[in-house]
Structure 1
Amino acid sequence: MILFSRLLTIVATLVIPLTLTACGGSSSSSNSSSAPNSGQAEVKNYFDQTLTGFDDETIAFTVYIPENPQGESVPLIIHSHGFGLSRAKNFENPDPIESFLTNDISGDVARRAWLENGYYVISFDQRGFGETSGNITVMDPDIDCRNVSQMIDWAEQNLINLKFDGDDPLIGSIGLSYGGGFQTVCSSVDKRFDAIVPLATWSHLPYSLYANSTPKNIWLDILSIASMGKLEPYLFEAIIGATTTGEIQPETVTRLAGHSPLSFCNGERSDGRTLSTADALFIQGSNDVLFNINEAVENYECWKAQGNESHLFIQRDGHILPTLQTAGRQILFGTDDTLYCGEKTYRTDDLALDFLASKLTGTTGMIIPDICFSLADQQLGVTSSNIQRGGILSDVEESQIIPGGLSNVIDLLTSLPLQTVLSTLSSLPIEASTTLIEVLTASADPSSLVNYLDDIINLLPNELLSQLVAKGKFIPLQTATESGLLAGIPLAMLNVEGGNGDDNLLFIGLGKQSVNGGDASLINEQVLPIRGSGLLTEEMIGVSTSIASGDVLGLMVYGFHPYFTHLASLTQAPLPVTISGTIDLPLTTTNE
């Protein structure tokens, strides 16, 4: 069962032609073994290269040689793409497809590193994408990272002016999403990375895709389509299970945890591998539903705890859900061009390139904060040296919530004239239409509609779908007495009683009702699934938003949410759940 088929159609329309186009072209194979640091002059050039991997699969990448008339030693920047896309094959004169594929901050930085800074750059196709063959293994340290290490071996032997520090090649990297994941995981496997700039990436894949044992179906469906059928079988089976039963097998969850930087940070890996030694600049989006603030915080704190230099910049966008969220520069991705950090502003590409340059060449770089929460649309931000968790405790007034999506759909449809409903849903099967009329005229139990929810939701026009998405209970917590920022991680301690007992499934986020009036809105479009009953303690999803004096802050609670649309979440028995407790808010004034 896949809900929101229109959304998935949009994604398929975008991703499939791009992937097919990226698979064209030819690549060259060089057997050069020139010694590094030769001092030979080089002319600006780029060429495609392939290697045969350890498992006989092809590894494809494009090598960018800088203009280097003096034969100076220069570092290497490794760049890669997001899930479903492919490498940059022509940074200088890209065609329309190439422009789309590289139209993000990471592509900008890689291009400038080659053309402006005079560095070597390698942009590579990750396993299963573009011209690199093999099944998609989602950053398996023993497969994906082995490919990356083989590519670095090639660079050491063939980039004649590659800069070394002793026996260590000077290597930096940049990439967004999946292109961030190769950096955090593979720099932990291969310690030859010196500086990394991961944008909008994960720390712990089970949390990203299956937080509190609740599948994030809307993104799992998108990733399934973007994989073009090349996922490892166990991963495809996991998506089927998530979509139908709402469950992913424990062994798969464990396996995905091992494809995550957190596993290296915790020091619990059976292979004994430890976290990366590279310095890191993390850039993450507060409105990124796939990889949220908490994941970047976890990465930042892991790197810092290991003694690496670590910085974290929070801006608005990241992964974007078409029809449900506002798009950035790309259809599925977005990154603010400018970051606002207290009294300082930074161009995002300047910041990333300067960070890499300072670590790889020893030049004096920008003075940058440890942590910055930037609000570009208001040109303000706040800096700190630690992530704020909570800070101002507020009581949650005892309230009742009806779980499941069925009641939401019924409430929406009964608010409309019957003729409007029937006209809108005229394509329903006859049996479904008959049952719907009986439910709306109170002559049948609403639960009789369960088997037709898919059909009903997929026929709703956008304006009605948005009402369904926006539905949630706003429980006021406090009224702001001065302007400030919510910047950090809220803490929830909630007592959940009644409903379906241990099978309760609710979704919580923070809401804001403007001093200027209007309905409460979900802050940063983020919700966290919570399960069960009794006393539940949770780190809520991190937030970054401005607060005006007089704004009312509150807890948003949903009985179902479209980010998590599997059958079990939709068909919970609509038995009232009582919720109470406290929320600890990371609220700070803007003049701090």
Structure 2
Amino acid sequence: MTGDSGVPRMAPTGHRPASRHKRDPEERHMKQFAAVLLSLGCLVLSACGSSGGSDGGNNGSGNLPPLPAPDGQGQAGPAAGSERAGRSYDVTLTATDGERIVFTVHEPAQLVGGQKYPVLLHGSGFSIPRITAAMRNFAAPAGTPLVNIQTSKQYTDAGYAVVSFDQRGFGTSSGTVTIMDPDKDGANLLQVVDWIDANLDWTARRDGNLVLGAYGGSYGGGYQLMLNNIDPRHRLDAIVPQITWYDLSYSLGSGDVPKSGYGLALTAAGEVLSGLQMDPSVLAVLQHGLTDNRYTEEDQAMLRYHSNRYFCEGVSQVGKRAAVHPPRVDALFFQGMYDALFNLNEAKANYECLSESGGDVRLLTYNIGHVLPGGVGLISGGLSGPSDFSRCGPWEAGALSLQWFDAKLKRDPAAIAALREVPEHCITLSSNAEGVVVNRIKTGGTQADVPATLVPLLLPVSLTPVTLYTATEDGTVVAGIPTSTLTLENPLPIPGLPGGLPLGVSTDDAFVFVSLARSRAALPSQLETLGDQVRPVRGFGTHTIELNGIGVKLNAGDRIDLLVTAASLPQYPLIIARNPLLPAVRVSGTVQLPVLGAVETVH
């Protein structure tokens, strides 16, 4: 839990979120143990992870409207006893609001009459077009960063159909860009899945429902979580969301400070690549962040509604769809440790939410992600090949994604056996993809004091490093979610005035940016911000918060320092304390680091 708004409510310890109700430690640990046993049993019996709904099936409950009649756009499979090469072809639907929905059906590489094939949905990252027929056979070198989230060949070659759609407002799909609005983007997605359900005669079925998976990264990860939340038939069986969000109000405004670098990037990419089709409501949110130095409560509510958090935590809003907890689905999450937009904290929150629903859920990290130019480079630890960007230890994202679908959708015995060797979590520690395997992601830990430190607000480039921890042996691993309790104070209170503040100064005028940096024993003056992770803290008073997740392996004498600054580039351009009557703030408190010690790592 945290002290400021717009932050995912993530349990400070353990596997499952504590936001629903409090549990005593013994009960919580017994339930965690039971969940682990259930997951292992599912792997051994290969019977539990095959469908997304309750009672062993992924059919939704209640009275559901009938599926639409076939519209003639789907191509029939070959007759029994014959076969043909798979094809790729486009389909166009008219959305309920009159807009155009366009997607491409990529059949499996070879269709055999009488056989049935699982289907994978694919959605691209923000502003990126779908995988078209011309891209069907595109194959990049193994391990190329994130290529697995924008290609179909490895899946069609393995006997899957891939249905790749243009997100609303991008490519050849029309409509304004609403950033994963459940009532607009979501309605379009439901039409796509209904069309697949009604029009393709060669799709695999289980318990009367499609055998359906989904993959994609960033925006293409967000759609998977949203679809799982709103599909009344609960058709998703297995998903692989990569580098995606839990709560957009946190992603774009943690600590109630707008992340202007990405706000500007989203606006520019969205407007240019959609043909000036960004929805006015979205533009207004991004504009408020830049001009007002903060988002309004209405802005934050909109961003939250477009997020998994809305459903996971029951953040209901008047006039919006019910915030029902997500149904069961097997989910393999990947998150970038250098991702400056969607961090490990958000991935952990997604993991905890879907784990609570009862599915087999794993979370692994890698080095790549949303990295803005000017951030700390990824090469400080040395690279041995392109796959270093997309793996943690021996587990490479593209290969593991295919293995995940083989186990969950095909129930392939070899894939099921292989998944027994894949851990609950692997946290990447360096740019050469060395990682640490943990059963839970540690939150908080070894405490260090932050002595009262003066931070000049009118000299935003000045650094104020505070040493928090010094490793005493080689191979010391620090990995997880740091926590902190930090107090911001006015160093020059004026007697007789409210809060001791000068006239024209409010408590929210004060904010600073906090990050953790490594100082190597051999280069003590060279500070390397861990994972490019920066956390704003806003307002006078005491803030108990999570800092952004980190992973690092230290040598004896290496330090972890706390950096407190008044500005942060390139993530927060133009976002600084703007009141000249407030020249400085004083920061003090404590930080708790997730120190694991000199534990075994994987390569």
User: What TM-score results when the alignment is normalised by the length of structure 2?
Assistant: 0.76
**Alignment deviations for residues 219-268 of structure 1 (CA, whole Å, 9 cap, x no partner):** 00000011122121111112111111113221121121111011111134
The superposition leaves residues 141-182 of structure 1 with CA deviations (integer Å, 9 ceiling, x where unpaired) of 111111111111111222221000021101101101000000
Instruction: Give, in angstroms, the shift of residue 324 of structure 1.
Output: 3.4
Q: Residues 568, 478 of structure 1: CA spacing in aligned structure 2 closer, same or farther, 3 A cutoff?
A: closer
Alpha-carbon shift at residue 35 of structure 1 (Å): 8.5
How far the C-alpha of 1:554 sits from its partner, in A, is 1.6
Shift of 1:552: 1.4
Deviations, residues 22-54 of structure 1 (Å, cap 9, x unaligned): xxxxxxx96157889985744211111111111
Find 2:101's aligned residue among 43, 52, 59.
59
- Whether 1:91 aligns to 2:138 is no
Equivalent of 1:274 in 325, 332, 348:
325
The equivalent of 1:371 in structure 2 is: 425
SS in 1 for 2:135: coil
The one-letter code of the counterpart of 1:347 is E
Change (3 A) 1:264 1:577: same
Asked if 1:197 corresponds to 2:240, the answer is: yes
- Quote the Cα distance in structure 1 between the aligned partners of 2:170 and 2:145: 15
Partner of 1:212: 255
Q: Is the 8 A contact 1:184 1:276 kept in 2?
A: no
For residue 221 of structure 1, give the secondary structure of its aligned residue in structure 2: helix
Secondary structure, counterpart of 1:219 in structure 2: helix
Give the distance between the partners of 1:103 and 1:373, measured in 2 at CA.
Answer: 17
- 2:383 is aligned with 1:383: no
Looking at structure 1, the residues matched to 181 and 217 of structure 2 have their Cα atoms a distance apart, in angstroms, of 18
Give the direction of change, closer, same or farther, for the CA distance of 1:145–1:38 in structure 2 (3 Å limit): farther
**Distance across 2 between alignment mates of 1:305 and 1:83:** 29
Give distance in 2, aligned partners of 1:122 and 1:102.
22
| Equivalence for 1:507 | 513
Q: Is the 8 A contact 1:59 1:147 kept in 2?
A: yes
Shift of 1:209: 0.7
Equivalents in 2 of 1:145, 1:53: separation in Å? 11
Q: 2:569 matched to 1:569?
A: no
CA contact (8 A) 2:367 2:390 kept: no
Contact 1:391/1:587 (8 A) holds in 2:
yes
Indicate the residue corresponding to 2:392 in structure 1. 340
C-alpha distance in 1, partners of 2:538/2:435? 34
Query: 2:131 aligns to what SS in structure 1?
Result: coil
**SS class of match (2:442):** coil
Instruction: Give the letter aligned to residue 216 of structure 2.
Output: G
Rounded to whole Å, the distance in 2 between the matches of 1:95 and 1:70 is: 27
In the TM superposition, what is the alpha-carbon distance from 1:493 to its structure 2 partner?
1.0
Deviation, 1:387, is: 1.3
Q: Distance in 1 between matches of 2:557 and 2:188?
A: 55
Of 341, 364, 369, the residue aligned with 1:313 is: 364
- Whichever residue aligns with residue 510 of structure 1, its letter is L
* Structure 2 residue aligned with 1:407: 459
Compute the displacement of 1:407 (Å): 1.8
Determine helix, strand or coil for the equivalent of 2:338.
coil
Distance 1:481 1:324 in 2: 29
Partner of residue 210, structure 2: 169
Amino acid in structure 2 at the alignment position of 1:358: A
> Which residue of the partner structure matches residue 533 of structure 2?
526
Aligned with residue 592 of structure 2, among 562, 584, 587: 584
**Residue 474 of structure 1, aligned match among 465, 476, 489:** 465
Offset of 1:285 from its aligned partner?
0.7
> Structure 1 residues 327, 388: closer, same or farther in 2, change over 3 A?
closer
- Distance in 2 (CA, whole Å) between partners of 1:492 and 1:197 is 32
Structure 2 SS opposite 1:68 = strand
Contact 2:448 2:590 (C-alpha < 8 Å) held by counterparts: yes
Asked if 1:231 corresponds to 2:278, the answer is yes
Q: Which whole-Å CA distance do the structure 2 matches of 1:105 and 1:163 have between them?
A: 23
Question: Over aligned residue pairs, what C-alpha RMSD do you find?
Answer: 2.6
1:164 is matched by which residue type in structure 2? R
Please give the secondary structure, in 1, of the residue aligned with 2:351. Answer: helix
Task: Please give the secondary structure, in 1, of the residue aligned with 2:516.
Answer: strand
Instruction: Provide the residue aligned with 1:26 in structure 2.
Output: none
Stretches of 4+ aligned residues off by more than 6 angstroms: 33-38
1:69 correspondence with 2:112 = yes
Checking the alignment, whether the CA contact within 8 Å between 2:378 and 2:431 is kept in structure 1 is no
What is the CA-CA distance between 1:533 and the residue it aligns to?
1.9
1:359 pairs, out of 382, 392, 408, with 408
Measure, in 2, the Cα distance between the counterparts of 1:371 and 1:62. Answer: 34
In 2: Cα distance, 1:303 partner to 1:572 partner: 46
Corresponding residue of 1:251: 298
Partner of 1:416: none
SS at match of 1:358: helix
1:484 Cα deviation from its structure 2 partner: 1.7
Matches within 5 A, 1:12-51: 31-32=72-73, 41-51=83-93
**Aligned-pair CA distance for 1:125:** 0.3
The Cα of 1:396 is off from its aligned counterpart by 1.3
3-state secondary structure, aligned to 1:239 = helix
Displacement of 1:588: 1.3
1:459 aligns with none
Contact 2:367–2:378 (Cα < 8 Å) also in 1: no
Change (3 A) 1:200 1:154: same
1:267-312: CA deviations, max 9, x gaps? 3435333314221011001111111111101000111112121110
Amino acid aligned to 2:277: K
**1:505 to partner: Cα distance:** 0.5
Distance 1:183 1:542 in 2: 23
Give the superposition deviation at 1:549.
1.2
CA distance in 1, matches of 2:436, 2:378: 24
Q: How does 1:120-139 map to 2 (within 5 A)?
A: 120-139=161-180
Structure 1 position 77, deviation (Å): 0.6
Residue of structure 2 equivalent to 1:493:
485
Find out whether 1:113 has 2:155 as its counterpart.
yes
> Aligned partner of 1:489: which letter?
I
Cα–Cα, structure 1 residues 572 and 548, in superposed 2: closer, same or farther, change >3 Å?
Answer: farther
2:502 maps to: none
Q: How far, CA to CA, are the matches of 2:83 and 2:311 in structure 1?
A: 41
- CA distance in 2 between partners of 1:220 and 1:176 (Å): 18
Separation (CA, whole Å) in 1 of partners of 2:378 and 2:472: 33
Question: C-alpha separation between the residues in 2 aligned to 1:139 and 1:146?
Answer: 10
Conserved? CA contact 1:474–1:520, under 8 Å: no
1:36 touches 1:156 (CA, 8 Å); kept in 2? no
1:187 alignment partner, SS class: helix
- Distance in 1, matches of 2:188 and 2:464, equals 49
SS in 2 for 1:506: strand
Per the TM alignment, residue 64 of structure 1 is displaced from its structure 2 partner at its CA by 0.5
Q: Distance in 1 between matches of 2:146 and 2:592?
A: 39
Q: Which moved more, 1:244-253 or 1:164-173?
A: 244-253
The amino acid that maps onto 1:281 is L
Assess if the C-alpha contact under 8 Å between 1:315 and 1:374 holds in 2.
Answer: yes
Show the counterpart of 1:145. Answer: 186
For the residue of structure 2 that corresponds to 1:161, the secondary structure is: coil
CA contact (8 A) 1:245 1:568 kept: no
Mapping 1:543-554, distance limit 5 Å: 543-554=550-561
How far apart are 1:70 and its partner, in Å?
Answer: 4.3
Q: Distance in 2 between matches of 1:380 and 1:32?
A: 48
Q: Check conservation: 2:131, 2:164, Cα contact below 8 A.
A: yes
Unaligned runs of 5+ in 1: 1-28, 329-333, 409-467
Q: How many angstroms apart in 2 are the aligned matches of 1:313 and 1:401? A: 36
SS at match of 1:227: helix
Percentage of identical aligned residues: 31
